[in-house]
Every structure is written in structure tokens, then in C-alpha cells.
Structure 1
Amino acid sequence: MSKTNAERLLKQSNVSFESISYPVDLSDLSAQAVSEKIKFPLSSVFKTLVLEDDQKNYLFAVISGEEEVNLKAVARASAAKKVSLVPMKVLESLTGYVRGGVSPIGAKKAFPVFLSDRAIGQPFIIISAGKRGQQIKLSPDDLLEFTSGILYRNR
């Protein structure tokens, strides 16, 4: 299987990770479906959302599959007045990724990464490798360090 940008970047930086592949069902791209296919608990499968703040800055919010994004909490953490989800139609042109395959690593442009504090204490989290059907298992600390990410409370 070919390496994604995210996997190549992690490998180049000697960050320890494991690649996990699964069959894609375009009718269900949810974290729950991914969790079931890769046989890891939903609490360890993290989804990456692309948000825009009131100043037209973009950012990634990486949250547990068990959570819904709290826009007020992300705004607080990013020192913005408010944030909103980026419309699907601009997702690919903005990041180079399609829905169901967005990774906080290796996007067209490096946006700030905000990681939910649900990752604290977990030995690993699983994030998208940057394409549907491929995930990366790594330590939350490594993700934060690699992306210069910020831990925040998603509530």
C-alpha cells in the first residue's frame, strides 16, 4: 500500500506510528464505522475537523469519535471570537483531503492543531492517514509534538 503524505512525514521525522487499513464504505464514513472495522474502541479513534475562525484563519480540531465538537471551546482555545465548520465544498481545495480522509498532518497548508484533552492518558490515538481507508496509530504526545499542537478541553 502506498504511503500517504502524513505517513511519509512521520517516517522522515522518525515518529513511531503504525498504519492501519480498512475497507471503505462511502455510505458511512463515521468514526463509529471506522472503529468497528479496525476493531479499536471508539474512544481511541479521533476525527479531524477543519474549522474557520471569524478572522478567516483555519485550524484542525482533532476530537475523539465519542465527542461532538464544541465550537465555543475551540474558539476559546484558539483565542477567536467564534469558529465554524468549513463547508464540504472547500474542504479538498483547502487541505488536499476529502471528507473521511482528513489528517492533521500533511495537508496542503499546515494549520494549527487543537487536540481534545480526551487524548490525555491514552497510550495511543488513531487518526486519518490522509485518505479514506487508511489510519495512523500513534501516541497523542507524538501528535502534539509533531504538529506543535495545543491540547484543549472540548466542553
Structure 2
Amino acid sequence: MAKAKEEKTNVIRLLEAAGVPCTHHILDLPKGEVPDGVTAAALVGKPAEEVFKTLVAEGPKGEHFVYVIPVAETLDLKKAARAAGVKSIAMLPQKKLLPLTGYVHGGCSPVGMSKPFPTFFAEEVILVDTMVCSAGKVGHQVEVRPDDLIAFVGGQVADLTAER
């Protein structure tokens, strides 16, 4: 009996080709279901503090920025704008996500977007040994060391999350 071939996403292929150690997690989801980040964390078996979501925002001149923050946190738009060096930002409308990044809602990864954008990681990333984020497809997650991922995408660490 032949072993089923693991479906690799482009994100996994890019990281492996660059020699970035990573673990691919495939979630068992009903067809068409897009779990929220906290649910995805539970399905991967990780605390929410170790699982990150990728958000895309627009600046006042139409520029785009990527923010990677813990799934249970909220992006503070003022802090995010400050990190990007612009006056203000607004979240990218969902209908623009796929044409701009190549990713759908629930499957957006900081790795392998259609073109590179300035990418900022919430400072909470320094508190974890490994982080989990989308592997570029709904139901697929990748686990990597934060320093490796930040270096791979040319990211920066900043204070991005809203105070609780």
C-alpha cells in the first residue's frame, strides 16, 4: 500500500528551500471551515501565545504593511502606523487580500506573498521558542523559530498590540 503524499504549501517549500527548519501542521477541518486563531491554536495543540495571525493594512498613500501578532491579541492601529513610519493605517478590506497578497482570509502568511511588503512582528514573539502561523492555505500551519522567520521575511519587531 502506497503512503499518502503530504500536501506541501508554497510557504513550506520556500522555507525548506532556504534551509529554515520548520514543522508543517495540517488541521483536520470540515470542508470550507475557517477557524479563528484561538481555535487553530487548540487544534495544533499550542497555547494561543505561541500562535500568530497575519494581518495586512494600508497606509495613507496606498502603501501596504504586514503585521504578525498573537491570535488572541488586537492590532493597535496607532502603534502599527508608528512602527511603519506613517501617519495612519487602516486594515485592508478582505476583498483586496487575495489580489494583493495571493492569500485568502484564514490562510494569509507572512511568507511568500505576491510581492514583499514591510513586515512587523509583535514584540510578544520574543517570548516564545517557536511560533506557529499560517502556512499559506486554510488548515495549514507552520511552526518555526521566530528569529528564523523574522530574518527570512526581513521583518522587524515592534510594539503592535492593544493594551488589555
TM-score under structure 1 length normalisation: 0.95
Matched, 1:142 2:161: no
Does residue 48 (structure 1) correspond to residue 54 (structure 2)? The answer is yes
Q: Give the distance between the partners of 1:80 and 1:24, measured in 2 at CA.
A: 39
Rg: which structure is higher?
2
Structure 1 Cα separation of the partners of residues 118 and 10 of structure 2: 17
Task: Give the Cα–Cα distance (whole angstroms) in 2 for the partners of residues 136 and 28 of structure 1.
Answer: 16
Q: 1:27 Cα deviation (Å)?
A: 5.0
RMSD between superposed Cα atoms in Å = 1.2
Q: Which residue of 2 aligns with 1:22?
A: 27
SS of 1:19's equivalent? strand
From the two aligned structures, give the one with the greater strand fraction: 1
What is the CA-CA distance between 1:5 and the residue it aligns to? 1.6
SS in structure 2 of the partner of residue 93 of structure 1? helix
Contact (CA 8 Å) 1:24, 1:132: kept in 2 or not?
no
Equivalent pair of 1:51/1:83 in contact (CA under 8 Å): yes
| AA at the equivalent of 1:8 | R
**Structure 1: segments with no counterpart, 5+ residues:** none
1: distance between equivalents of 2:97 and 2:29?
19
CA distance in 1, matches of 2:11, 2:104: 14
Q: Does residue 123 of structure 1 match 2:126?
A: no
Name the % identity. Answer: 35
User: C-alpha displacement at 1:20, in angstroms?
Assistant: 0.5
Deviations 1:88-123 (A, max 9, x none): 111111111000000000011111110000111310
The CA deviation at 1:22 is 0.3
SS in 2 for 1:11: helix
Q: Which runs of 5+ in 2 are unaligned?
A: 1-5
Aligned to 1:5: 10
Asked whether the equivalents of residues 66 and 119 of structure 2 are also in contact (C-alpha less than 8 Å), the reply is yes
- Partner SS state of residue 90, structure 2: strand
Letter of the 2:21 partner, please give it: S
Is residue 148 of structure 2 the alignment partner of residue 152 of structure 1?
A: no
What TM-score do you get using the length of structure 2 for normalisation? 0.90
Supply the AA of the counterpart residue of 1:145. Answer: A
How much does 1:24 deviate?
2.9
Q: Which residue identity does 1:86 align to in structure 2?
A: L
